């Protein structure tokens, strides 16, 4: 039958398997896999092996894991995968701030199946890791071009750990200067929560600036917050609203004027590749999310990779070891006495470095710029369509262009129909697209939703996505209950209260649940 040509809507129903919890599938005696047994000659030499374990440390009773044959285990997890909507099966424009970019399969096949990476030990002699080290080295060179920064480390396991590493570098920098009175970090409310939480974890008091008329704080507000106590500012630009702060260099100058460092959260860098860089705006540190801007998949919430970049002055504080090249060979340089130390075991997430490397190599300078330009064009195109939908409001910066994403609001829809963003979000998936991301907390924009089409989605995808939003708006005006009682076409029905805070209702494991419910 195909998608409706006029409305662009399609009939959709996600797999619903009423799938048991794996423990419910257990049949005593079944095996999912057999494991290697020691040879007779080995047993003859050392006996059963486990007698060597001191009595008090021997496991007395086998772990009560389920006993399930292999095909049933496979089928179970296959079904769970079918009850999941990854970007490989849906139009994932809805995850604004996350850049749900297409991750080319050729990269995945290389990273996940090539023994030249899957079967590498991180402590092998570096002479046997030349391919990986070369990849790390090259990705660093590429990121230097993208950002204008002088040095990079790929050790952090995610953007947030990158922000944490940068907060550690800010601390190390001030400490090295004997400046121990800098106890505060300033961020903005539309920067990711980690820009507050990671400096907080690093021991800083956090000051959060609220938006002015343009969607970002007034320069005056920043100046009022800056003082000799300020260690650094941690901000995004464009912020999660998609609004670019045109005076960002003035903000950086003001922070520098009081001796603070400036750390640029570049999770929203996708629209800027080859167009604007941390260097020109004067930042001292920055980070990129390799699993967003550089195409590694999000993997059900990781693994990720955060690349951190710094100016030459801060190089000595970067996490060690660093990947170096002596003209002949790549090697690991541990000789960084001023380094913040480590934030991650080994070399970080090597397969993600591979994916970034391959993606950048497939695009080159012009291709990266094309990705940025098209992501911004796609976003402006989507914005035009979404603004035409009844009930949608866009706050701040009226008449100005946004870059790679927009934070929208259903405030008007809520006023008109009683249907808010929670309900629309759930209804989205009934039409076969990912739910959308609303906003980080607190919800400064009422009834928010944040869309980022990036460069991976076609005009046709964007049209379909906008058509779905338009349809749900129509439904809200005609029959709000229909939207409020969604979802209908998903593996499960609605959950009244997804936040579980009542102690007596908490079951974080199957055995706790069985106990709670009195199940045998």
Partner 1 sequence: MKDRKIVYPYIPNSVGEIKEQMLKEVGAQEVMELYAEIPEHLRFKGRMKMPEPILDECSIRRHVDGLLRKNANCCDHLNFLGAGCAQHYVPAVCDEINGRGEFLTAYSSIFWADHGKWQAWFEYVSLMAELLDMDYLSLPTYDGAQAAATSLRMARGINGRTEVLLPASMHPQIQAVVRNYLKGVPDPALKIGLIDYDRTSGLLDLEDLRAKISDRTAAVLIENPSYFGIIEAQAEEIGRIARERGAEFIVYADPISLGVLAPPAHYGATIACGDLHPLGIHMQCGGGQSGFIATGFDMDHAMQFKDIVVGIQETVEDGEYGFGVVFPHKLSYFTREEGNEFTGTNTGLWAITAAVYLSLMGPKGMEEIGRTIMQRSQYAAKKLGEIDGVRVLFSASFFKEFVVNFDETGRKVEKINRKLLKAGVFGGLDLSKDFPALGQSALYCVTEIMTKDDIDHLVEAVKKAVK
Count of residues that interact with partner 1, criterion CB under 8 A: 215
384 binds partner 1 (CB under 8 A): yes
For residue 458, the number of C-alpha atoms closer than 13 Å in the C-beta half-sphere is 4
Phi, psi of 227 (to 5 degrees): -160, -175
- Is residue 219 at the binding interface for partner 1, with CB under 8 A as the rule? no
86 vs 446, which CB is nearer to partner 1?
86
Q: Give the residue, chosen from 8, 9, 10, 22, that forms a contact with partner 1 under the rule CB under 8 A.
A: 22
Residue 480, interface with partner 1 (CB under 8 A)?
Answer: no
- Closest-CA residue to 406 (of 454, 473, 461, 467): 454
Residue 252, token pair as written in the block: 């950086």
In whole angstroms, how close is the CB of 491 to partner 1 at the nearest point? 4
Binding to partner 1 by CB under 8 A, coded x per residue (else -) over 281-320, reads: x-------x-x---x-xxxxxxxx----------------
Tokens found for residue 12: 């959709």
CA atoms within a 13 Å half-sphere pointing along the CA-CB vector of 299: 16
Taking each helix axis from N to C terminus, what angle separates 159-176 and 194-201, rounded to the nearest 10 degrees? 50
Contact between 422 and partner 1 (CB under 8 A)?
no
Question: Which of 1, 441, 504, 518 forms a contact with partner 1 (CB under 8 A)?
Answer: 441
Q: Rule CB under 8 A: is residue 171 a binding residue for partner 1?
A: yes
Residues of this chain, 351-380, that bind partner 1 according to CB under 8 A: 351-352, 354, 357-358, 360-371, 373-374, 376-378, 380
Q: Given the complex with partner 1, which of 146 and 472 has the nearer CB atom?
A: 146
Decide if residue 507 touches partner 1 (CB under 8 A): yes
Using the structure block, give the residue that is written with the tokens 């991180």.
Answer: 122
Q: Is 513 in the site for partner 1 (CB under 8 A)?
A: yes
Q: By CB under 8 A, tell whether 423 contacts partner 1.
A: no
Is residue 76 a contact point for partner 1 (CB under 8 A)?
A: yes
Site string (237-276) toward partner 1, x via CB under 8 A? ------xx-x-xx------------------------xxx
Alpha carbon of 489 to those of 14, 428, 480: distances in Å?
6, 10, 17
CB 460: neighbour CB atoms within 10 A? 11
DSSP at 19: P
Out of 161, 166, 188, 263, the only residue in the binding site for partner 1 (CB under 8 A) is 161
Q: Which of these ranges, 5-13, 18-26, 222-230, 468-476, lies near partner 1 under the rule CB under 8 A?
A: 18-26
Nearest to 450 by CA among 189, 241, 214: 241
Among 4, 7, 70, 479, binds partner 1 (CB under 8 A): 70
Rounded CA-CA distance 43/24 in Å is 36
Neighbours of 513 (CB within 10 A): 14
SS (H, E, C) 239-253: CCCCCCCCCHHHHHH
Q: In this complex, which beta carbon is closest to partner 1, that of residue 63 or of residue 312? A: 63
Beta carbons within 8 Å of 460's beta carbon, 6+ residues apart: none
How far is residue 511 from each of residues 97, 505, 515, measured CA to CA in Å?
37, 14, 6
Which burial class, exposed, middle or buried, applies to 450 when counting CB atoms under 10 A from its CB (0-12, 13-18, 19+)?
Answer: buried
Task: Give min distance, CB of 53 to partner 1, in A.
Answer: 6
Which of 217, 232, 309, 491 lies at the binding interface for partner 1 (CB under 8 A)?
Answer: 491
Nearest to 173 by CA among 314, 355, 6: 314
Does 418 help bind partner 1 (rule: CB under 8 A)? no
Q: Nearest 5°: phi and psi at 73?
A: -65, -45
Minimum CB distance to partner 1, residue 36 (Å): 5
By CB under 8 A, what part of segment 329-348 binds partner 1? 340-348
Verify binding: residue 203, partner 1, rule CB under 8 A.
yes
From candidates 137, 184, 241, 277, binder to partner 1 by CB under 8 A: 277
Selected range binding partner 1 among 143-151, 257-265, 412-420, 475-483, rule: CB under 8 A: 143-151
């Amino acid at each position: 039958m195909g998608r409706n040509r006029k409305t662009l809507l399609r009939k959709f129903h996600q797999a619903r398997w009423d799938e048991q919890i794996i423990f419910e599938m257990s049949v005593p005696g079944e095996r999912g896999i057999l494991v290697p047994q020691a040879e007779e000659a080995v047993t003859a030499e050392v006996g059963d092996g486990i007698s060597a374990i001191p009595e008090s440390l021997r496991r007395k009773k086998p772990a009560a894991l389920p006993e399930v044959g292999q095909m049933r285990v496979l089928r179970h997890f296959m079904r769970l995968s079918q009850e999941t909507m990854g970007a490989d099966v849906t139009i994932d424009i809805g995850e604004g701030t996350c850049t749900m970019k297409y991750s080319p399969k050729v990269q995945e096949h290389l990273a996940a199946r090539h023994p030249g990476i899957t079967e590498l030990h991180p402590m092998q002699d570096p002479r046997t890791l030349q391919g990986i080290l070369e990849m790390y080295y090259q990705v660093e060179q590429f990121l230097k071009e993208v950002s204008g920064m002088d040095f990079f480390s790929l050790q952090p396991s995610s953007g947030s750990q990158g922000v944490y590493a940068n907060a550690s570098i800010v601390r190390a920098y001030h400490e090295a200067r004997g400046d121990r009175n800098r106890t505060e970090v300033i961020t903005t409310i539309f920067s990711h929560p980690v820009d507050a939480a990671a400096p907080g974890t690093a021991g800083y008091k956090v000051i959060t600036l609220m938006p002015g008329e343009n969607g970002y704080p007034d320069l005056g507000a920043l100046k009022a917050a800056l003082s000799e106590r300020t260690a650094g500012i941690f901000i995004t630009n464009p912020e999660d609203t998609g609004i670019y702060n045109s005076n960002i260099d003035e903000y950086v100058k003001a922070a520098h004027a009081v001796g603070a460092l400036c750390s640029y959260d570049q999770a929203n860098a996708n629209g800027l590749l080859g167009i604007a860089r941390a260097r020109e705006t004067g930042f001292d540190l920055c980070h990129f999310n390799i699993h967003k801007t550089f195409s590694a998949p999000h993997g059900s919430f990781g693994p990720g990779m955060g690349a951190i970049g710094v100016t030459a002055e801060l190089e000595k504080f970067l996490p060690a070891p660093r990947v170096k090249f002596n003209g002949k060979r790549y090697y690991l340089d541990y000789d960084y006495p001023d380094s913040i130390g480590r934030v991650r075991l080994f070399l970080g997430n090597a397969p993600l470095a591979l994916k970034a490397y391959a993606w950048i190599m497939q695009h080159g300078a012009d291709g990266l710029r094309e990705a940025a330009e098209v992501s911004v064009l796609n976003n402006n195109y989507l914005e035009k369509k979404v603004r035409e939908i009844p009930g949608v409001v866009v706050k701040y910066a009226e008449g100005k262009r946004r870059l790679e994403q927009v934070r929208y609001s259903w405030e008007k829809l809520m006023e008109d129909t009683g249907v808010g963003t929670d309900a629309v979000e759930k209804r989205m998936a009934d039409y076969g697209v990912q739910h959308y991301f609303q906003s980080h907390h607190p919800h400064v924009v009422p009834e928010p939703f944040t869309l980022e089409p990036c460069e991976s989605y076609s005009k046709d995808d964007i049209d379909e996505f906008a058509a779905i939003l338009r349809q749900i708006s129509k439904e809200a005006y005609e029959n709000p209950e229909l939207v409020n009682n969604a979802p209908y076409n998903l593996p499960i029905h609605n959950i009244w209260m997804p936040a579980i805070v009542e102690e007596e209702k908490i079951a974080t494991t199957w055995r706790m649940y069985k106990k709670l419910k009195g199940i045998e």
